């Protein structure tokens, strides 16, 4: 690995440890217990097991740090200066369907700013990681966002709406509007890998509403360190962990933002 600060080392170590059981579970999907959190939103014994291993490893080193997780909620709530943000399987629907597009995503936040993060797809063995000021990497190679200059030539990725979304029409409206103004749009089912793919120049940009902080925390620093822009829009102050995101290379950012702000289809 090309970075070696104590925080990033610790995240990488916990990802690798947790990925061993995750890969086993991926090979035996029929044995997993799956329950429904809300319509269309599933959690499996693999999500819980993976998260438990990660939390265990991180806590061994820093028992006092705050932790925000998808499956176990918030731990050490009073520590808001130093926090881990964990999504044990980002892309659970893909995982449960045997589609190898899912990842462990872990970010480390200090005083409200993400300092480093790792997104690891254990099936393809691709580890995306970055630390503030030190660049972004895929395994041993430095990565950068694409050089696409115009939105109309761009390949974007998005996700949603969730089955329980109350703003489906708005999300579909944006999808139609943006689709008409770009080269094409993909929907891959893992927000963290969508962001990792923007950071490594495979996609030119990503936008999505109704995400959670753990979906995007690691991706934020990886895209920034790869030379891209990350912005949040329509933030509801009552729900700081809910995020609407635009993450792109530096050239198409404003054009995409302007389209999202648009209220009528052209
Ligand atoms: C989901 C994935 C998906 C996104 C959903 C997320 P999960 O995370 O990132 O791409 O569209 O909004 O909830 O539930 O698989 O961890
Ligand atoms: Ca997620
Ligand atoms: Ca998840």
pLDDT digits (tens, 9 = 90+) for 109-151: 999 999 999 999 999 999 999 999 999 999 999 999 999 999 9
Q: What is the extent of the structural domain holding 93?
A: 6-142
- Which residue's alpha carbon is nearest to atom 1 within ligand 1? 91
Residue 207, token pair as written in the block = 């936008």
Instruction: Please tell me what DSSP assigns to residue 38.
Output: E
50 domain residue, yes or no: yes
- Judge if 177 and 56 occupy the same domain: no
How far apart (Å, rounded) are the C-alpha atoms in residues 187 and 99? 13
Q: Which of 215, 218, 242, 245 to mutate to test the pocket of ligand 1 (most atoms within 8 A of CB)?
A: 215
Closest ligand 1 atom number to CA of residue 95:
15
Look at residues 79, 135, 71, 87 and name the one whose alpha carbon lies nearest to residue 109. Answer: 79
pLDDT at 262: 79
pLDDT digits (tens, 9 = 90+) for 26-64: 999 999 999 999 999 899 999 999 999 999 999 999 999
- Judge if 119 and 94 occupy the same domain: yes
Are the beta carbons of 136 and 143 closer than 8 angstroms?
yes
- Judge if 216 and 169 occupy the same domain: yes
Give the number of other CB atoms < 10 A from CB of residue 183.
14
Cβ(189) to ligand 1 under 6 A?
Answer: yes
- Which residue's alpha carbon is nearest to atom 13 within ligand 1? 211
- Judge if 10 and 138 occupy the same domain: yes
Strands 73-75 and 82-90: unpaired
89 domain residue, yes or no: yes
Q: What separation in Å is there between the alpha carbon of 92 and the centre of ligand 3?
A: 6
Residue 246 phi, psi (nearest 5): -125, 125
How far apart (Å, rounded) are the C-alpha atoms in residues 218 and 1? 17
Look at residues 156, 144, 147, 157 and name the one whose alpha carbon lies nearest to residue 225. Answer: 144
154: exposed, middle or buried (C-beta count within 10 Å: 0-12, 13-18, 19+)?
Answer: buried
Q: What is the pTM of this model?
A: 0.97
- What's the average model confidence in pLDDT over 157-182? 96
Residue 265 — pLDDT band, cuts 50, 70, 90?
low
Residue 4 — pLDDT band, cuts 50, 70, 90?
confident
Q: Collapse the DSSP code of 52 into the 3-class scheme (helix H, G, I; strand E, B; otherwise coil) and give the result.
A: helix
218 domain residue, yes or no: yes
Q: Is the pLDDT of residue 226 over 80?
A: yes
How far apart (Å, rounded) are the C-alpha atoms in residues 116 and 6? 11
Residue 208 phi, psi (nearest 5): -170, 145
Q: Of 142, 171, 203, which residue is a domain's last? A: 142
Q: Of 95, 110, 142, which residue is a domain's last? A: 142
Angle at 219 between CA 108 and CA 215, to 5 degrees: 85
Q: Of 142, 167, 190, which residue is a domain's last? A: 142
- Judge if 86 and 162 occupy the same domain: no
Cβ(251) to ligand 1 under 6 A?
Answer: no
- If one counts the domains in the chain, the total is 2
CATH (domain of 234): 3.40.190.80
**Cβ-defined contacts of 24-31 (< 8 Å, 24+):** 25/49, 25/50, 26/95, 26/98, 26/100, 26/122, 26/123, 29/95, 29/96, 29/98
Q: Give the largest CA-CA distance in the chain.
A: 55
| Residue in this structure with the two tokens 């990681």, named with its chain if needed | 129
CATH (domain of 95): 3.30.540.10
- Judge if 127 and 171 occupy the same domain: no
Closest ligand 1 atom number to CA of residue 162:
12
Cβ(117) to ligand 1 under 6 A?
Answer: no
Q: Collapse the DSSP code of 109 into the 3-class scheme (helix H, G, I; strand E, B; otherwise coil) and give the result.
A: strand
Closest ligand 1 atom number to CA of residue 189:
10
How far apart (Å, rounded) are the C-alpha atoms in residues 43 and 206? 25
Look at residues 241, 253, 213 and name the one whose alpha carbon lies nearest to residue 117. Answer: 213
């Amino acid at each position: 690995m090309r970075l070696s600060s104590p925080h990033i080392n610790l995240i990488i170590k916990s990802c690798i440890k947790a990925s061993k059981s995750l890969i086993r579970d991926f090979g035996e999907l029929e044995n997993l217990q799956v329950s429904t959190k809300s319509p269309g939103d599933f959690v499996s014994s693999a999500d819980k097991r993976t998260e438990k291993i990660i939390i265990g490893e991180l806590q061994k080193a820093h028992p006092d740090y705050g932790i925000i997780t998808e499956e176990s909620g918030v731990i050490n709530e009073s520590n808001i200066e130093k926090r881990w943000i964990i999504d044990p399987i980002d892309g659970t629907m893909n995982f449960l369907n045997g589609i190898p597009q899912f990842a462990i995503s872990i970010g480390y936040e200090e005083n409200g700013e993400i300092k480093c993060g790792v997104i690891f797809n254990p099936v393809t063995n691709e580890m995306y990681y970055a630390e503030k000021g030190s660049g972004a990497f895929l395994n041993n190679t430095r990565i950068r966002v694409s050089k696409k200059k115009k939105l109309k030539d761009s390949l974007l990725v998005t996700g949603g709406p969730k089955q329980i979304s109350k703003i489906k029409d708005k999300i579909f409206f944006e999808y139609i509007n943006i689709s008409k103004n770009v080269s094409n749009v993909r929907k891959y089912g893992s927000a963290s890998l969508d962001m990792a793919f923007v950071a490594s120049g495979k996609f030119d940009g990503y936008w999505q509403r109704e995400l959670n902080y753990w979906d995007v925390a690691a991706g934020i620093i990886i895209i920034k360190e790869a030379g891209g822009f990350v912005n949040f829009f329509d933030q509801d102050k009552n729900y700081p962990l809910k995020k609407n995101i635009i993450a792109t290379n530096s050239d198409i950012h404003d054009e995409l933002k302007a389209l999202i702000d648009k209220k009528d289809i052209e």
